[in-house]
Structure 1
Amino acid sequence: MLIRNVRPWGEAASDIVLDGDRITEVRPHDSSMPVADGDVDGRGRLLLPSFSDVHVHLDSSRIGLPFREHTGAPGVWGMMMNDRRNWRNTDVPHAEIVAGTLEAMIARGTTRVRSYAQVDVDCKLEKFESVMAAKERFAGHADVQVMTFPQAGILREEGTLAYLEESLKQGADVMGGIDPCQLDRNPAKHLDIVFGLAEKYQVEVDIHLHEPGALGVFSTDLVIERVRALGMQGKVTMSHAYDLGAVNEATTQRLIDTFAELDISMASVAPAAPHQLPLVRLVEAGVRFGLGEDGQRDYWSPYGNCDMLDRTWQLAFTNGYRRDDLIELALAVATTGGASIMSHDVTRPTGVGDRPGVAVGDRADLLLVDGETPSSAVMDRGTDRTVLHDGRIVADGLNVIGL
Structure 2
Amino acid sequence: MSAVVLADVRPWGGAPADVRIEDGTITEVTPRGDAPAGEVPPGATVVDGRGRILIPSFADVHVHLDSTRVGLPFRPHTGSPGVWNMMLNDRRNWRDAEVSMAERTTTTLGRMIAHGTTAVRTYAQVDVDCGLERLDAVLAAKEVHAGRADVTVMAFPQAGLLREEGSVEILEEAMRHGADVVGGIDPCALDRDPVTHLDIVFGLAERYGTPIDIHLHEPDQLARFSAELIVERTRALDMRGRVTISHGYGLGRLPETQLRPLLEDFREWDIAMTTIAPPSPLPTLMLAEYGIRLGLGEDGQRDYWSPYGNADMLDRTWQLAFTNGFRQDAHVEHCVAIATAGGRAVIGDGAPLASVEDRPGVAPGDLADLVLVPGDTVTAAVMDRGADRTVLRRGVVVADGLELTA
TM-score by length of 2: 0.96
Please report how far the alpha carbon of residue 347 of structure 1 lies from its aligned counterpart in structure 2 after TM superposition: 2.8
Secondary structure of the structure 2 residue equivalent to 1:243? helix
**One-letter identity of the residue aligned with 2:309:** G
Within 1, Cα distance between the matches of 2:203 and 2:334? 36
Within 1, Cα distance between the matches of 2:259 and 2:189? 21
Please report how far the alpha carbon of residue 258 of structure 1 lies from its aligned counterpart in structure 2 after TM superposition: 1.1
Structure 1 counterpart of 2:348: 343
Structure 2 counterpart of 1:6: 9
Structure 1 counterpart of 2:22: 19
Does structure 1 conserve the Cα–Cα contact (< 8 Å) formed by 2:275 and 2:282? Answer: no
**One-letter identity of the residue aligned with 1:303:** Y
State yes or no: 1:372 paired with 2:341.
no
Structure 1 counterpart of 2:387: 383
Structure 1 counterpart of 2:193: 186
The aligned runs of 1:4-403 (5 Å cut-off) are 4-30=7-33, 32-33=37-38, 38-273=45-280, 276-344=281-349, 346-402=350-406
Structure 1's unaligned 5+ residue stretches are none
Please report how far the alpha carbon of residue 343 of structure 1 lies from its aligned counterpart in structure 2 after TM superposition: 2.1
Deviations 1:104-152 (A, max 9, x none): 0000000000000000011110000000111111111001010000000
Secondary structure of the structure 2 residue equivalent to 1:39? strand
State percent identity of aligned pairs: 59
| Structure 1 ranges of 4+ moved more than 6 A | none
Deviations 1:90-115 (A, max 9, x none): 23111000000000000000000000
Please report how far the alpha carbon of residue 282 of structure 1 lies from its aligned counterpart in structure 2 after TM superposition: 1.0
Q: Which moved more, 1:175-184 or 1:161-170?
A: 161-170
Please report how far the alpha carbon of residue 246 of structure 1 lies from its aligned counterpart in structure 2 after TM superposition: 2.4
Within 2, Cα distance between the matches of 1:227 and 1:352? 27
Secondary structure of the structure 1 residue equivalent to 2:253? coil
Deviations 1:217-244 (A, max 9, x none): 0001000000000000000000000111
Structure 2's unaligned 5+ residue stretches are none
Please report how far the alpha carbon of residue 163 of structure 1 lies from its aligned counterpart in structure 2 after TM superposition: 1.1
Please report how far the alpha carbon of residue 382 of structure 1 lies from its aligned counterpart in structure 2 after TM superposition: 0.6
Does structure 2 conserve the Cα–Cα contact (< 8 Å) formed by 1:284 and 1:350? Answer: no
| Alignment size in residue pairs | 399
CA root-mean-square deviation = 1.1
Within 2, Cα distance between the matches of 1:23 and 1:343? 20
